[in-house]
Amino acid sequence: MATTTVHRSARTRNSASAAGRVRAHSPYTSWFYLPAAVIYGVLFLVPTVIAFYFSLTRWSIFDSKFIGFDNYVTFFQEPGLISSLWHTLVYAVLTSGAKVVLGLGLAILLTSQIVGRGYLRSVVFFPVLVSTIGVGLTFTVLMNPERGLINQSLDLIGITGPGWLTDPSLALISVALVDIWKGVGLATLIYIAGIVSIPQEYFEAARVDGAGAWDNFRHIVLPLARPATVTVIILSLIGGLRSFDLIWAMTRGGPGFTSDVIASVIYKQYQAGFYGLSTAGNVVLFLVVTAIILPLSRFLNRKEVEL
């Protein structure tokens, strides 16, 4: 059909040269890449590449001087800096693990036969759209050790709540909890999209075979929602490793350096005028992110679904 109309309209125009030109020139032009390529190249690729050079310099507002690997030596020797690397990893693994588990659980709940499904979906998802800084400052107040709502409520049932953000061993985890609160809605939505795309026939067949709820979950939902799991893990790991806003709003890396992550170290060193050290932190973050995400996504995407 399409080809005949194409031929006829070409012939009615009666211009062999025009038809020839059409064949010679593709209607798709590389010029379309240009605006995006310029902006992306100048403001993303160039900085990413020159970061490797500047991380090897002592760099201030005025000039930069090549000093080899000194910035990296500083980064890996200073306890306050190297600890940020571990905090980043703990934070990312904690948040993305919790988002996978809670997101899957909530998604199964919100695709089952319960009342108020629409309300529950909206209320779980809405925090995703709220300003991270707003959420951070709100929870800073709620987590106030003496007067905060959380510890007041715990008092009512006879538990003395901890100093969520003031206890050095707890601050990072408290911020991670708020991150999970804010981000679990996205994981849930991704899982819901994955679960509703599973053909109902599988569940019907399973019912005929006498499968229970656990069998359904273990042998149908879990394997077939795998693309959703991959998406949630990758997205929340990327987000978690780069996380800055929430930590800055809630603790500014404190108490001490106990909740500093690489992204907050980058900002602190930048503010202090140590541009080279800040950039070295950036390169470390780059290497950490790519060293984790690339092999992981290759591994997760390689295994196809096995029922």
Least Å distance between CB 92 and another protein?
A: 12
Is residue 193 packed enough to be buried (19+ CB in 10 Å), middle (13-18) or exposed (0-12)?
A: middle
Q: If binding is defined by CB under 8 A, does position 127 make contact with another protein?
A: yes
Q: If binding is defined by CB under 8 A, does position 296 make contact with another protein?
A: no
Region near another protein per CB under 8 A, out of 71-79, 115-123, 158-166, 253-261: 115-123
Region near another protein per CB under 8 A, out of 76-84, 155-163, 164-172, 275-283: 275-283
Provide the 3-class DSSP secondary structure of residue 196. Answer: helix
Region near another protein per CB under 8 A, out of 74-82, 154-162, 168-176, 263-271: 263-271
Q: Which residue has the tokens 């089952």?
A: 112
Q: If binding is defined by CB under 8 A, does position 123 make contact with another protein?
A: yes
Provide the 3-class DSSP secondary structure of residue 114. Answer: coil
| CA–CA–CA angle 48, 49, 54 (5° rounding) | 95
Q: Are 289 and 238 in contact (CB under 8 A)?
A: yes
Interatomic CA distance for residues 31 and 247, integer angstroms: 42
Q: Are 193 and 112 in contact (CB under 8 A)?
A: no
Q: If binding is defined by CB under 8 A, does position 62 make contact with another protein?
A: no
Nearer to another protein, 154 or 169 (CB): 154
Q: If binding is defined by CB under 8 A, does position 174 make contact with another protein?
A: no
Interatomic CA distance for residues 104 and 191, integer angstroms: 6
Region near another protein per CB under 8 A, out of 41-49, 66-74, 160-168, 169-177: 41-49
Q: If binding is defined by CB under 8 A, does position 116 make contact with another protein?
A: yes
Q: If binding is defined by CB under 8 A, does position 241 make contact with another protein?
A: yes
Which of 56, 172, 176, 189: binder of another protein (CB under 8 A)?
189
Residue 136, both tokens: 């951070």
| CA–CA–CA angle 179, 181, 184 (5° rounding) | 95
Which of 244, 254, 258, 300: binder of another protein (CB under 8 A)?
244
Where in 5-34 is the site for another protein (CB under 8 A)?
5-6, 9-10, 13, 18, 22, 26-33
DSSP 64: E
